[in-house]
Amino acid sequence: MRRITSAILLIFLVNISFAQTENTSSTDTVKVLTGSFEFIAPLPETSRLQFKSENNDRSSPVKVPYGGRVQVLFERNDTIFYRYWHYDDEENAALYNAGNPTFSMLKEDFERMSIPLYRQFKGFQVGAYTIPFRLRAIGTKVFDFESSLSLQSNFIFGFGPRTTQNSLIDFSLGIGLTAAILEPGNSNINNTNSSQTASALTLSAGLLFKPKPFINLGVFLGADYLGAKDQDVNWRYDKGTWVGIGINVSFNNIKTTAAPTNKG
């Protein structure tokens, strides 16, 4: 048991070091009006406004399209200069893409009429998960619930829509150690009044659904593998697949400041 506790403590310390490295950049704020943006509605007081292109070959006013996505180029004298993402339809392509025109708008109007966009892949972290409840298959229609002492290092990949900075779904791959409780009911231990603990290598994969940055529901698939010296106990769950469910199983907040690519 001492060996298991020491290994779990080591995993925990490794994850703290990764978390500290990650947090040094998480405090960075997104600079206002850099990257990609999308014009939003309703805009009753501004939707009828028209803005001129800065290109010499286009002097006529051009309306701001609802849902139009743009790449901000630079800011000058409280004016934002930007280009539109590529349109597939001919009418909008001719209006907003032909000749790669640059448009401009007052900064205060731009801030009121747009929201920032971020890439859908929010980033990567290394974190620690605990999966307290596991559903293990015993037979064709028989299952067993189990609570195990386990701590894993997880490689976490965050994803979400372009309009959010934080990830809403995290995919994880985990490796760690689990304290397997060996009893007469799940192994060939003969003494009905005793149990012993063995260490098992745990591999898992799972999804975390995060309606809020620090509120999540996790669903995992995994398997535990006993070490060679414990194989003679014939643990029923050795190498068997389990399903794990947890609420608030992680407090990793994956976020990005990167804008999406300039595509239609």
Considering the chain, what is the average pLDDT of its residues?
76
3-state secondary structure 90-120: HHHHHHHCCCCCCEEEEHHHHHHHEEEECCC
62-86: pLDDT as tens digits: 778 888 899 999 888 888 899 999 9
For the segment 119-125, the average pLDDT, to the nearest whole number, is 90
pLDDT at 9: 43
Q: Is the pLDDT of residue 10 over 70?
A: no
Phi first, then psi, for residue 93 (nearest 5°) are: -65, -40
Phi first, then psi, for residue 115 (nearest 5°) are: -130, 150
Q: Is the pLDDT of residue 18 over 60?
A: no
Q: Is the pLDDT of residue 3 over 60?
A: no
Cβ–Cβ < 8 Å for 40, 115:
yes
Range scoring the smallest mean pLDDT among 9-23, 112-126, 246-260: 9-23
31 falls in which pLDDT band (50, 70, 90)?
very low
Q: Is the pLDDT of residue 254 over 60?
A: yes
More confident residue, 242 or 48: 242
Torsion sign across C-alpha atoms 50, 55, 56, 58:
negative
* Annotated domain spans of the chain: 2-27+120-247, 36-117
Alpha-carbon distances, residue 148 vs 11, 211, 231 (angstroms)? 16, 27, 19
192-214: pLDDT as tens digits: 556 688 888 999 999 989 888 77
Q: What is the C-alpha separation between 211 and 245, in angstroms, rounded?
A: 16
Q: Is the pLDDT of residue 247 over 60?
A: yes
pLDDT at 251: 67
131 falls in which pLDDT band (50, 70, 90)?
confident
pLDDT at 54: 66
Q: What is the C-alpha separation between 41 and 68, in angstroms, rounded?
A: 11
235 CB burial (10 A radius; 0-12, 13-18, 19+): buried
Token code pair at residue 104: 């401009």
13 falls in which pLDDT band (50, 70, 90)?
very low
Q: DSSP characters for 218-260?
A: EEEEEEEEE-GGGGGG--TTTT-EEEEEEES------B--PPP
What does the longest C-alpha to C-alpha distance in the chain come to? Answer: 91
